[in-house]
């Protein structure tokens, strides 16, 4: 069946077959984006509990709780589910038929598990030389920590220096919210997959694509790590009452909302800012007449701006900063983002065809000639087990034998 965009035309990845043999979030996100753009993605899960991401909202104390299993609906939309025990020899032989016809296989099992399941690149490449094998790890493919289990909180944020760099001096490191590093890392893996597909068009050969949480965290922390590679360092961020720059700082409004200013062109923006705050004399104040002096006297300037901004509610402050053409943003909560009209116009929040989750998040990019259709619901565990195996050429007797051996799972009543 042709997978079509919102206008009825074939999506860019229609006809591409993907085996998502991965768990949790980062690697499956790559498959989700490929599914959004038309790929036929089969989510390969163990019978019983399936991918742990099916249960993450209840397993983790850091997830907001809901009657809707939104993590699963968000990260597995548009996929089909094959629940199969790859430790079973007959099931593994059947799975090789899927590999033989697939374009992409995505895996994030630890190296030792891949070896046991015969799921390394050298195991599957002979079955399908055109296969794009996408490998995702916490810390990389080789090295002293290659076998260490990694999640985004430790491998992406902690190990890369991001968690340390984001904190104020004298304050303990803060932990990120769940999956913040996973989502960008999944896109990096998807980009590598697309490059490999493009190269296959030219050479006819498949290849191995690799990415890791550590590599993505270091990439995100690029300015600081590149500086460190040259011996350059920067002390931890001082608190907002004595910032490095009073014009790149956070301030609280009268109604206890917070804003963040990032004024880069200080000499251009400063006179307009202080005029809007009814402080035009600051533009002539000898402490603040150029960038160097403003940085030297940032504590004094921050105190003046803090007092001035705290006299007004947020809406008044927003209007003043917009008139001054000062780069800024309100520091929103997730609830604020959910109701942000600009998020809809930016294409970040979109409508779905999922009754219990009428809105969701789109990939953070768009193609003008391929508007995405509304998101479809994520699959029940094993909902497509029989269908997928039949398509791969597994015979009815073999499928029945796998069911009897409980090597595959199908929903009750199927």
Work out the pLDDT band at 176, boundaries 50, 70, 90. Answer: confident
The architecture (CATH level 2) of 250-336 comes to: 2-Layer Sandwich (3.30)
Is there a common fold for 17-222+365-409 and 250-336? no
Distance CA(282)–CA(271), nearest Å, equals: 8
- What are the residue boundaries of the structural domains of the chain, listed by start? 17-222+365-409, 250-336
> Please, how many CA atoms are within 13 Å of residue 216, restricted to the half-sphere of its CB?
31
The structure's pTM equals: 0.94
Q: What is the pLDDT of residues 242-266, one digit of tens each?
A: 999 999 999 999 999 999 999 999 9
Q: pLDDT tens digit string along 51-64?
A: 999 999 998 999 99
Six-digit token string for 176: 């990120």
Alpha-carbon distance values, 325 to 248, 261, 266, 275 (Å): 14, 11, 11, 12
Give the C-alpha separation, 232 to 29, whole Å.
35
CATH superfamily name and code, 17-222+365-409: Crotonobetainyl-coa:carnitine coa-transferase; domain 1 (3.40.50.10540)
Banded pLDDT at 411 (limits 50, 70, 90): confident
Beta-sheet pairing, 359-361 with 349-351? antiparallel
Q: How far apart are CA 95 and CA 101, in angstroms?
A: 10
Q: In sequence order, which residues have a C-beta less than 8 Å from that of residue 338 and are 6 or more positions away?
A: 349
pLDDT of 414 over the 80 cut: no
pLDDT digits (tens, 9 = 90+) for 286-316: 999 999 999 999 999 999 999 999 999 999 9
Read out DSSP for 333-360?
Answer: -HHHHHT-HHHHHTTSEEEBS-TT--EE
């Amino acid at each position: 069946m042709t997978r079509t965009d919102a206008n009825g035309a074939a999506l860019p990845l229609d006809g591409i077959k993907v085996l998502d043999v991965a768990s949790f979030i980062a690697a499956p996100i790559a498959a989700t984006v490929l599914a959004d753009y038309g790929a036929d993605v089969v989510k390969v899960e163990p019978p019983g509990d399936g991918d742990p991401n099916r249960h993450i909202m209840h397993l983790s104390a850091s997830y907001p709780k809901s009657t809707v299993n939104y993590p699963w609906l968000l990260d597995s939309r548009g996929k089909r589910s094959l629940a199969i025990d790859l430790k079973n020899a007959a099931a593994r032989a059947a799975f090789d038929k899927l590999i033989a016809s697939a374009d992409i296989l995505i895996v994030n099992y630890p190296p030792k598990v891949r070896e046991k399941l015969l799921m390394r690149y050298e195991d599957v490449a002979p079955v399908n030389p055109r296969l794009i094998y996408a490998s995702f790890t916490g810390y990389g493919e080789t090295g002293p920590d290659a076998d260490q289990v990694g999640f985004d909180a430790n491998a992406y944020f902690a190990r890369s220096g991001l968690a340390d760099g984001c904190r104020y001096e004298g304050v303990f490191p803060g932990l990120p919210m769940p999956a913040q590093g996973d989502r960008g890392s999944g896109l990096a893996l998807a980009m590598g997959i697309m490059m490999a597909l493009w190269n296959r068009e030219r050479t006819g050969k498949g290849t191995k694509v690799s990415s890791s949480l550590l590599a993505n965290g270091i990439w995100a922390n690029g300015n600081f790590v590149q500086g460190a590679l040259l011996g350059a360092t920067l002390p931890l961020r001082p608190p907002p009452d004595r910032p490095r720059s009073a014009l790149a700082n956070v301030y609280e409004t009268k109604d206890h909302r917070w804003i963040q200013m990032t004024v880069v062109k200080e000499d251009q923006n400063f006179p307009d800012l202080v005029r809007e705050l009814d402080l035009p004399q600051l533009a002539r104040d000898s402490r603040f007449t150029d960038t160097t002096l403003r940085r030297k006297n940032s504590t004094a300037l921050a105190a003046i701006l803090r007092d001035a901004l705290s006299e007004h509610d947020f809406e008044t402050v927003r209007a003043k900063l917009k008139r001054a053409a000062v780069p800024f943003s309100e520091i929103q909560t997730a609830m604020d983002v959910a109701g942000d009209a600009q998020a809809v116009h930016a294409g970040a929040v979109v409508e779905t065809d999922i009754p219990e989750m009428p809105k969701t998040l789109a990939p953070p990019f768009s193609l003008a000639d391929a508007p995405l259709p509304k998101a479809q619901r994520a699959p029940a565990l094993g909902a497509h087990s029989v269908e997928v195996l039949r398509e791969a050429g597994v015979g009815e007797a073999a499928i029945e034998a796998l069911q009897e051996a409980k090597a595959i799972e199908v929903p009750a009543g199927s």
